[in-house]
Structure 1
Amino acid sequence: MYEERPAQLDGAVLWTRTAGPAAESPRPVLPDGCMDLIWADGHLLVAGPDTRAYVPTETAARYAGIRFAPGDAPAFLGVPAHELRDRRVALGELWGGARARRLGERITEAPDPAAALDALVRRRAAAVPAPDPLLRAVAARLAAGRTVAETAEAVGLGARQLHRRSLTAFGYGPKTLARVLRLQRALALVLCDTPYAEAALRAGYADQGHLARETRALAGTTLGAYTRGAAVSAKSDTPEPSGSSTTA
């Protein structure tokens, strides 16, 4: 079962996941321009920005996480995003083992680990520099489908400076971030039953073939397989009706 809800931290999302049956394969996590702080059965880890689909291999039974808005996590973690690109690392590698263990234990003891993560992040956010508003504007413009050139001009940064600052904030350059966010726009449309060709054009692709190639490159799957997997996942995550029983 996977669930999301808004975090109190601006722009962030809280999520929880309970492992399903042993035979049920976890769905790949697609690139989204974000980074997550994750509690997994008492252990804290960081999911860096992805450039390709990530297939979960962790064996924890319960997870809680907070997904930062694109570009916000490095200030919280104190580490440039590009150092964590396509990686999952224990928080102890960044903050020290003893500190990470104490924080993990505190969250484990909380009645709602996701809310405890949110509180931890808000306390930390109050003590570190705020995310760069210029980079938030970059992410917002690229998410809206603006080109990298238009975005650089709008925020007043040269191409090299935008690339360098994007590596620190997002983990990769603005062209890669634009590709990732464009795919997210297209897949959101596809999941709303928009025909593939229409979704491709509305998201900014040249045609359906262009979208299909980018889906394979970034998500490691086909459009058909993605939509079928999403439908199966949605069905398995639907709670039993009130009063029903799963026992014979």
Structure 2
Amino acid sequence: MYKERVSRLPGAVVWVNRPGEGGAGRVLPDGCMDLLWHEGRLLVAGPDTRAYVTEGARGVWVGLRFHPGTAPAVLGVPAHELLDRRVELTDLWPPAVVRRLRDRVGAAADPAAVLERIALERDVPADPLLKRLVEALDAGRPVAAVAEELGLGARQLHRRSRDAFGYGPKTLARVLRMQRALSLAPSGVPLAETAVRAGYADQPHLSREVRELAGLPVTGLLGG
């Protein structure tokens, strides 16, 4: 069973997941990174370019999901170094610091709230340019037009995007577009209409993109 709530960290959510017995989970690309707590370990989930399949995950997972582009400033590492990876927090921060944090989280009645406080204590202000970039791409604006609006050249935009999101703006746009489509389809919107409203050329385009990013056909994904 999965539950989440809005975090005090701008744009973030805190969540708790108690996976069912034996089943595999599928974490879809969403432009985000997570700080995780699982069975006494602190980990970081980097940005995904494809579905991350968890085979028979057991135990309670607790996480803080950062708003796209905000985790690298808190964690102190460019997002592209964690692309499609799950790493121990000790790989990024001094082991002594992580041990103290593990003790804090492990002793807490609400581990999710402690993960939230750990991020808030870093006191890193959000980059307003990155926020504008995410909002523009999530609205379906073309990458070239967004770069011009932000006053950035193509190379500069790509470099800043890799540092913040793990990949370039075109990949981020694809990931956000898939998430828009998946938010529409469960509400009963037909797939052909979903494709148009989400920004795809047509339904076959939607199907190809979802299969590539999620590893399943769109009908199978929604059925699951």
List aligned pairs for 1:26-65, cutoff 5 A: 26-57=24-55, 59-65=57-63
Q: Provide the C-alpha distance between the structure 2 equivalents of 1:195 and 1:60, rounded to a whole number of angstroms.
A: 35
> Residues 153-198 of structure 1, C-alpha deviation per residue, up to 9 Å, x if partnerless?
1111111100011000010000000000001001111111111000
Q: Provide the C-alpha distance between the structure 1 equivalents of 2:193 and 2:4, rounded to a whole number of angstroms.
A: 28
1:107 aligns with 2:105: yes
1:202 aligns with 2:200: no
Question: What is aligned with 2:131?
Answer: 136
- The two structures have a TM-score, normalised by structure 2, of 0.97
Shift of 1:60: 4.4
Tell whether the 8 Å contact from 1:5 to 1:14 is kept in structure 2 after alignment: yes
User: What is the DSSP-based 3-state SS (H/G/I as helix, E as strand, rest coil) of the residue aligned with 1:4?
Assistant: strand
Question: What is aligned with 2:186?
Answer: 191
Tell whether the 8 Å contact from 1:82 to 1:168 is kept in structure 2 after alignment: yes
> Residues 68-109 of structure 1, C-alpha deviation per residue, up to 9 Å, x if partnerless?
000000000000000000000000100033322221121011
Shift of 1:7: 0.5
2:106 is aligned with what amino acid?
Answer: T
2:10 is aligned with what amino acid?
Answer: D
Shift of 1:135: 1.2
List aligned pairs for 1:68-83, cutoff 5 A: 68-83=66-81
Q: For structure 1, which runs of at least 5 residues remain unmatched after alignment?
A: 230-248
Higher Cα Rg: structure 1 or 2?
1
2:208 is aligned with what amino acid?
Answer: R
Question: What is aligned with 2:206?
Answer: 211
Tell whether the 8 Å contact from 1:31 to 1:180 is kept in structure 2 after alignment: yes
Q: Which aligned segments of 4 or more residues in structure 1 are displaced greater than 4 angstroms?
A: 57-60
Q: Provide the C-alpha distance between the structure 2 equivalents of 1:60 and 1:200, rounded to a whole number of angstroms.
A: 35
1:54 is aligned with what amino acid?
Answer: Y
1:182 aligns with 2:177: yes
Question: What is aligned with 2:84?
Answer: 86
Q: For structure 2, which runs of at least 5 residues remain unmatched after alignment?
A: none
Tell whether the 8 Å contact from 1:19 to 1:60 is kept in structure 2 after alignment: yes
Shift of 1:136: 1.2
Question: What is aligned with 1:224?
Answer: 219
User: What is the DSSP-based 3-state SS (H/G/I as helix, E as strand, rest coil) of the residue aligned with 2:211?
Assistant: helix
Question: What is aligned with 1:241?
Answer: none
Q: Provide the C-alpha distance between the structure 1 equivalents of 2:69 and 2:12, rounded to a whole number of angstroms.
A: 11
Question: What is aligned with 1:162?
Answer: 157
Q: Provide the C-alpha distance between the structure 2 equivalents of 1:176 and 1:133, rounded to a whole number of angstroms.
A: 20
Q: Provide the C-alpha distance between the structure 2 equivalents of 1:71 and 1:205, rounded to a whole number of angstroms.
A: 24
* Percent identity (aligned): 58
1:4 aligns with 2:33: no
Number of residue pairs the alignment of both structures matches: 224
Aligned Cα RMSD in Å? 1.2
Moved more, 97-106 or 110-119: 97-106
Q: Provide the C-alpha distance between the structure 1 equivalents of 2:150 and 2:187, rounded to a whole number of angstroms.
A: 32
Q: Provide the C-alpha distance between the structure 2 equivalents of 1:58 and 1:167, rounded to a whole number of angstroms.
A: 31
2:64 is aligned with what amino acid?
Answer: I
Identify which of 122, 125, 145 aligns with 1:150: 145
- The two structures have a TM-score, normalised by structure 1, of 0.88
Q: Provide the C-alpha distance between the structure 1 equivalents of 2:42 and 2:153, rounded to a whole number of angstroms.
A: 37
